[in-house]
Amino acid sequence: MRKKTNNWSDKSLVEIRVDLDSGSYSSEELVKNYLSLIDKLEDKIGALLYFDKEQVLKEARAADKKIAAGEKRELLGIPILIKDNMHVAGMSTTAGSRMLKDYQPVYEATVVKKLKASGAIILGKANMDEFAMGSSCENSYYKITHNPWDLSKVPGGSSGGSAAGVAAGYCPAALGSDTGGSIRQPASLCGLVGMKPTYGRVSRYGVIALASSFDQIGPFARRVEDAALVLKIIAGQDSKDSTASHLSVGEYDNLVKSTVNGRKAAIVKELYEGVGDELRVVFDHAIADIRDLGVVVEEVSIPIIKYSIPVYYILQPSECSTNLARFDGVRYGYNAQIDQDVYDEAEDLYEQTRSRGFGMEVKRRIMLGTYSLSSGYYDDYFGKAARVRTLIISEFKKCLAEYDYLLGFTSPLTAFGVGEKIDDPLSMYLTDVMTVSMNLSGVPAISVPIGFSDGLPVGMQMVGNWFAEADLFKLAYNYQNINNWYLKKPKILKDLI
């Protein structure tokens, strides 16, 4: 007889795998549970942009047949949510923009192919800030996503839909992209684990580019071991992406006997100071727990981190303006003539297409980037910022030669109100102050929940050496197991399960 459970959202991917293989419940039953939550919560949260209930159930039934036949795959029959800047066959890819409304990709992202090869069911496409530009998930052309912990708050961005979906119990894991903190920051604001791998650890093929030298794909999950399993599946070289590393992928999910006793960590002064006292109390308790694990924790200063925001907001918009130049209304995507306007001059068509097709934040960054790259200003802005980026990388190399881990806040604040910062771009950009230096340097970083302040989640950022994701997962896993913050759920979810 099958056992019944009302605690689906408590289960890890490993536990679900065991249950499905043992026949405790079917993939169809599992998926129906998630679909039930979506039916009840999605109108309030707004995490999804594309979702086909019947197709998901069809794939669950097909998975059940494979499981019954004895097929063994790590994610067989388990639903995973995908950020809407990653191509999935049969699903539209909009990147949260009017410019790509109803766009159907002609190829599939490598990360999606790898998930499908492992047996995963693609649940749907998650809402996001337009072209991944934003820190609140308010910049989508289609809808605003709300934080399941408090519907008046944002979930963070740009991968806010992915984070909100996992936090609301829609699925056990999701993929996001991280250009300046877009996995880690929403993970912190939504009480999740969020991993940004080393630049090049995961293929970017089939992912709509924001800033090609920064973008990286990674997982959201409630538990560290789930994030580790998903990263193991999607990581690795790809002949279609020359920036994807040829280094072998570790057994990231082999964490059961891991230990961090005797390791060295440093609290980075610049990633700790300037944060409110209530959050610092939560952080200090987490540091005490990490010391109890046998980790030697000291303090270090990396003064050059203070230049990360200005450097990032020169380099990233510059790459953005170049990557988005392709959207001119001629080759694909939105065309202003769809609105029944007729333009005799190509320039007028380009101007109106880009003016109407892009949102305000995208246009702002295109203008910033174009200015930084323009003749007469390139050396003063882009060139100088690129040189400072090299110095930032050098400083991280020095610190990570001495310490196994660098620690700090993921976000300088908990989830803020919907509409609170949307009209103040500088204030919004500063919400990335703790995360952008890791994208500038390319090091891996993971955000883990460490407690709450006024009922809202607080996250700690753990940073490791290049391609040392396995070490980060070990620290995060050991910390998780003495706190179990992942068992905490938003009230909106607890009331339904």
- 314 lies in some domain: no
pLDDT category of residue 335 using cuts at 50, 70 and 90? confident
For the beta carbon of residue 34, count every other beta carbon within 10 angstroms. 24
More confident call, 313 vs 336: 313
In order, the DSSP letters of 425-443 are: HHHHHGGGTTTHHHHHHT-
Indicate which residue of 182, 188, 245, 318 is catalytic: 182
The answer to whether 220 touches 227, Cβ cutoff 8 Å, is yes
Q: In this predicted model, what pLDDT tens digit does every residue of 2-30 receive, in sequence order?
A: 444 446 777 899 999 999 999 999 999 99
Task: For residue 12, indicate whether it is catalytic.
Answer: no
- 424 lies in some domain: yes
What is the Cα gyration radius of the chain? 22
Number of domains in the chain: 1
pLDDT category of residue 332 using cuts at 50, 70 and 90? confident
- 321 lies in some domain: no
Inform me whether the pLDDT recorded for 360 exceeds 70.
yes
Task: For residue 258, indicate whether it is catalytic.
Answer: no
Q: In this predicted model, what pLDDT tens digit does every residue of 261-305 receive, in sequence order?
A: 999 999 999 999 989 999 999 999 999 999 999 999 999 999 999
Q: Round to the nearest angstrom and report the end-to-end CA distance of the chain.
A: 22
Question: In this structure, what CATH number is given to the domain that contains residue 471?
Answer: 3.90.1300.10
Q: How many residues does the chain have?
A: 497
The backbone torsions φ and ψ at residue 445, rounded to the nearest 5 degrees and listed phi first, read: -150, 145
Q: What is the C-alpha to C-alpha distance for residues 298 and 259, in angstroms, rounded to an integer?
A: 19
Q: What is the C-alpha to C-alpha distance for residues 122 and 91, in angstroms, rounded to an integer?
A: 10
DSSP 379: I
More confident call, 496 vs 427: 427
pLDDT value of position 2: 43
- 468 lies in some domain: yes
pLDDT value of position 3: 44
Q: In this predicted model, what pLDDT tens digit does every residue of 443-466 receive, in sequence order?
A: 999 999 999 999 999 999 999 999
Q: 371, 393, 366, 394: which is closest to 382 by C-alpha?
A: 371
Q: What is the C-alpha to C-alpha distance for residues 334 and 450, in angstroms, rounded to an integer?
A: 43
Q: In this predicted model, what pLDDT tens digit does every residue of 245-256 receive, in sequence order?
A: 999 998 999 987
Q: In this predicted model, what pLDDT tens digit does every residue of 65-87 receive, in sequence order?
A: 999 999 999 999 999 999 999 99
Q: In this predicted model, what pLDDT tens digit does every residue of 172-231 receive, in sequence order?
A: 999 999 999 999 999 999 999 999 999 999 999 999 999 999 999 999 999 999 999 999
Q: 169, 66, 198, 172: which is closest to 119 by C-alpha?
A: 66
For the beta carbon of residue 270, count every other beta carbon within 10 angstroms. 18
- 77 lies in some domain: yes
DSSP-based three-state secondary structure for 459: strand
Q: 286, 304, 280, 84: which is closest to 182 by C-alpha?
A: 84
- 408 lies in some domain: yes
Which range, of 348-352, 470-474, 476-480, 488-492, averages the lowest pLDDT?
Answer: 348-352
The percentage of residues in the chain with a pLDDT greater than 90, rounded to a whole number, is: 89
pLDDT category of residue 346 using cuts at 50, 70 and 90? confident
pLDDT value of position 250: 87
Task: For residue 158, indicate whether it is catalytic.
Answer: yes
Query: For the chain, how are helix, strand and coil distributed in percent, rounded to 5?
Result: 45, 15, 40
- 217 lies in some domain: yes
pLDDT category of residue 340 using cuts at 50, 70 and 90? low
pLDDT category of residue 497 using cuts at 50, 70 and 90? low
The answer to whether 473 touches 463, Cβ cutoff 8 Å, is no
pLDDT value of position 405: 98
Inform me whether the pLDDT recorded for 239 exceeds 60.
yes
Burial label, 453 (beta-carbon count in 10 A; 0-12, 13-18, 19+): middle
Arithmetic mean of pLDDT, 380-392: 97
Q: What is the C-alpha to C-alpha distance for residues 418 and 436, in angstroms, rounded to an integer?
A: 23
Indicate which residue of 11, 12, 27, 83 is catalytic: 83
Inform me whether the pLDDT recorded for 59 exceeds 70.
yes
Indicate which residue of 26, 158, 318, 372 is catalytic: 158
- Beta-carbon-side half-sphere exposure of residue 309 (alpha carbons within 13 Å): 13
The backbone torsions φ and ψ at residue 453, rounded to the nearest 5 degrees and listed phi first, read: -135, 120
* Mean pLDDT rounded to a whole number for the chain: 95
Inform me whether the pLDDT recorded for 1 exceeds 70.
no
pLDDT value of position 133: 98
Q: 497, 379, 400: which is closest to 444 by C-alpha?
A: 400
Arithmetic mean of pLDDT, 228-242: 97
Rounded to the nearest 10°, the torsion over CA 465, 441, 290, 484 is: -100
Arithmetic mean of pLDDT, 166-172: 96
DSSP-based three-state secondary structure for 192: coil
Matching residue, tokens 């337009």: 130
Beta strands in 286-380 (DSSP E): 296-300
- 366 lies in some domain: no
Q: 278 lies in which domain range?
A: 8-303+398-494
Rounded to the nearest 10°, the torsion over CA 148, 224, 116, 203 is: 100
Q: What is the C-alpha to C-alpha distance for residues 206 and 107, in angstroms, rounded to an integer?
A: 7
Q: What is the C-alpha to C-alpha distance for residues 465 and 188, in angstroms, rounded to an integer?
A: 21
